[in-house]
Structure 1
Amino acid sequence: MGRSKDTKKPKGRMGAYAFFVQARRKTYGDSSVKKLVFADFSKECAALWKNMDVNDKKPYQDSADKDKIRYDKEMANYKPSKGDKKKGKKRKKKDPNAPKRNLSAFFLYSNDERAAVRAQHADWNVGMVAKKLSEQWKVLDPQRKAKYDRGAVKDKERYMKAMEAYKAKLAQKKKESSSSSSSSSSSSSSSSSDSDSD
Structure 2
Amino acid sequence: MPKESKLRGKMSSYAFFVQTCREEHKKKHPGEQVVFAEFSKKCSEKWKAMNAKEKKRFEDMAEKDKARFDKESAAGGGGGRGGRGGKRKKTKDPNAPKRSLSGFFFFCNEERSKVKAQFPGYGVGDIAKELGKRWEVCPNKQKFEAMAAKDKLRYEQVCYTFFSILSIL
Per-residue CA deviation, residues 129-184 of structure 1 (Å, 9 max, x unaligned), is x6xx6xxx7xxxxxxx6x8633663795554131122245467x59xx8xxxxxxx
Q: 1:168 to 1:6 in 2, by over 3 A?
A: closer
Aligned pairs for 1:19-168 (under 5 A) are 19-32=16-29, 35-39=32-36, 40-78=38-76, 80=78, 87=87, 95-96=97-98, 98-99=100-101, 102=104, 113-114=122-123, 149-150=133-134, 153=138, 156=141, 159-168=144-153
Question: How far has the Cα of 1:30 moved from its partner?
Answer: 2.4
Which structure 1 residue ranges, 4+ long, deviate > 6 Å from structure 2? 108-112
CA distance in 1, matches of 2:98, 2:66: 42
Q: Secondary structure at the match of 1:98?
A: coil
In structure 2, stretches of 5+ residues that fail to align are 80-84, 162-169
- Identity, % of aligned pairs? 28
Q: Secondary structure of the equivalent of 2:11? A: coil
Contact 2:12 2:62 in 1 (8 A): yes
Match of 2:14 among 17, 23, 46: 17
More helix by percentage: 1
Return the alpha-carbon distance in structure 2 between the equivalents of residues 58 and 156 of structure 1: 65
CA distance in structure 2 between the partners assigned to 1:33 and 1:87 by the alignment: 40
| Residues 155, 148 of structure 1: alpha-carbon distance in 2 compared, 3 angstrom cutoff | farther
Instruction: Give the 3 Å change call, closer, same or farther, for CA 89–55 of structure 1 in structure 2.
Output: closer
Whether the aligned pair in 1 keeps the contact of 2:13 and 2:62 (CA below 8 Å) is: yes
Equivalent residue number for residue 125 of structure 1 = none
Could you tell me whether the CA contact under 8 Å between 1:102 and 1:155 is conserved in 2?
no
Q: TM-score when scaled to structure 1?
A: 0.48
Q: State the structure with bigger RCO (CA 8 A, min sep 6), 1 or 2.
A: 2
Residue identity in the other structure for 1:102: F
CA distance in structure 2 between the aligned counterparts of 1:78 and 1:89, rounded to whole angstroms: 18
TM-score (norm 2): 0.55
Name the aligned partner's letter for residue 54 of structure 2. D
CA contact (8 A) 1:98 1:166 kept: yes
Unaligned runs of 5+ in 1: 116-129, 138-144, 178-198
Aligned residues of 2:103 and 2:148 also touching (Cα < 8 A)? no
Which protein shows a greater Rg?
1
Q: 1:97 to 1:37 in 2, by over 3 A?
A: closer
> Partner letter of residue 30 of structure 1?
K
What is the alpha-carbon root mean square deviation over aligned residues? 4.6
